[in-house]
Structure formats: structure tokens, C-alpha cells
A and B are shown apart, each in its own frame.
Chain A
């Protein structure tokens, strides 16, 4: 697929748009349909398209595997910490009102932070799962090549 000119050109146009649309439904989720889950999936789909066209090695250079591991946990941690911040400031768990003075601003800030946590987790989980499956395949090919080299 890497040598196909049409795919490369179209992907070059489309991938930034997909990533931008992912960010849009992430941060515009309170005004229009969307939210962290969908945004994370769309963002991950953009990255996976990049991997399909340019190969896994280049894709892992853009977002290294180690970063994905950290991000999966960070998203969930961000969510939980926002919840705990509500407790620390004198409310219930995941109570957003104590976060800021203005109740509406507090709710919006809480929702945005929490959705961002979900988005980060979902995006990195999807990319991680895809990476693991894709690498499994190349491992099998390597193992096959070794077995053939031994002269079966």
C-alpha cells in the first residue's frame, strides 16, 4: 500500500482533517454532538490510517509506544483526580461545583477536563491495541523466516 500514489496523496489531505475533526468533537462536545469517547476513537482512526499508509515504524516514531502506555493511564488518572479535586475542595466525589466560583464555569471546566481524560484514554487504548495486533503479525513473519532459514 505504501507505493500507491493515490492513497498517499489522499491520505496526506485527509489525515490532518480527521485529527482536526477529532479535536473538534473533543472540545466542542458540550455544544454539539460529541465527547471524549467519539473524539478519542476518531483521533485514533486518523493515526491508524497513517500507519496503514506509511507503516508501523513511522507511526510509532510519531507517537512512541511508551507514550501510549503512559497516556492510557494518564487519561483515567486525570478523570479520577478531577473527581478527587472536588472532594479536596469540600464537595462530593466528581462534584464539579467547588472547582470554580461561578457554578456554570465550574461545571463546564469539570466536563471538559473529564471528557479530555476519556478522550486521551480511548485514543491511546485504540492505538495501543492496533499496534499490538499489527506487531504480532510481523513477529509471526519473522518467526516463519527463521524457521524457513533452518531448512525445514
Chain B
């Protein structure tokens, strides 16, 4: 419930600095939620990435951009319609979701039960999440590492060159203090 309130606040707030902080709070609350659901790895990731590093990086971007969001006049009815239809579709689909914690759920029928039963015998690693990530699903994780590497290359390509004097002056000059 608190998540919904924070999410609404993020949308309403025009001050980007406040929005960043609200996003950090949102991530922290989700991390607490994941902890309640016994998903320690996900909670740790959410707390470290969502509340920690992404907030810092967005703040670093904010030092380069203006602090106030540019107000958009009027209402975008098409966007409202798209959001409403998608939301209604998702709510309709969620009625077909199996009951939470039911042992006959499809999640437990596929490879999940193999992992739960055999991980320790196969690998001797107590933390099943680490075993699945690094051993069973190793290639996925390799792809993930390459994605991060590529992201660094992209940022490097965009930002590593010193800006020419005139143009950046024009862009920077109108910045709010």
C-alpha cells in the first residue's frame, strides 16, 4: 500500500531531485517486501542497486541537467486510454493466476523441483540462487555481464569527449541554480 503512495508521489512531484529520493524510498520499501517474502538475494539486489547505486547515478545525471521537470501543457488522452486498456487487461489476466503457494502451480512443475531437490547434491552449494545463477544458468549470467560491459562502452562513447566551448555554453547557460 505504501508502495502505491510512493509511486503516485513520484508521478506528481515536479522536482526531479525529490523524485529521485522518492524512487530510492520506493526501492527500499520493495527490498523490505522481498525480505518479508524470504527472497534474500533479490532484496539485497534491490537495496544495493535500486536504492543505492541507481540513485547516485541519477543524481550524477541531475548535476548535468535542470532540476525542474519541464511541464507538459494539457492532457494526453491517447496515453490515458492506452494505460487504462493495458491496466484492465493486466487485472483481467491476474484473475487467472494460480493461488499463491499452491504446490500444483506451474512454477513448481517444471525444472524448479529439480533445482530444489538436486542443487546441493549436484554442486554442494547451499545458496540455491547462486548455484542456479552461476552454474545451471551460467550462460544467462555471462550475457548479463556482457550487457553491463556494453552499457559502460555506451556511456564511455557518449561522455568521454571534452565538449567544445561554444555549444555546451548555450546548453548549460539556461540551467537552474
Contacts and interface: CB of A to CB of B under 8 A. Distances in A.
Interface of A: 25, 29-38, 41-42, 44-45, 48, 72-73, 75-76, 79-80, 83, 93-94, 96, 103-105, 107-108, 110-111, 114-115, 117-118, 121-122, 124-126, 128-130, 132-137, 139-140, 143-144, 146-147
B135 A111 contact: yes
B92 to A, nearest CB: 35
B123 A45 contact: no
B145 A76 contact: yes
Given A33-B44, A108-B124, A132-B155, A118 B141 contact: yes
Contacts of B152: 72, 124-125, 128-129
Contacts of A25: 44
Q: SS class of chain B's interface: helix, strand, loop or mixed?
A: helix
Most buried by B among A36, A83, A137, A140: A140
B135 A110 contact: yes
B142 A80 contact: yes
Contacts of B53: 41, 44-45, 48, 126
A121 to B, nearest CB: 5
A77 to B, nearest CB: 10
A54 B40 CA distance: 33
B76 interface: no
Interface in B114-160: 122-127, 129-131, 133-135, 138-139, 141-142, 144-146, 148-149, 151-152, 155-156, 159-160
Contacts of A107: 122-125, 131, 135
A32 B148 contact: no
B44 A111 contact: no
A86 to B, nearest CB: 9
15 contacts: A30-B127, A33-B43, A37-B45, A42-B48, A103-B122, A108-B124, A111-B130, A111-B135, A115-B130, A115-B134, A125-B148, A129-B57, A130-B60, A132-B155, A139-B163
Contacts of A105: 124
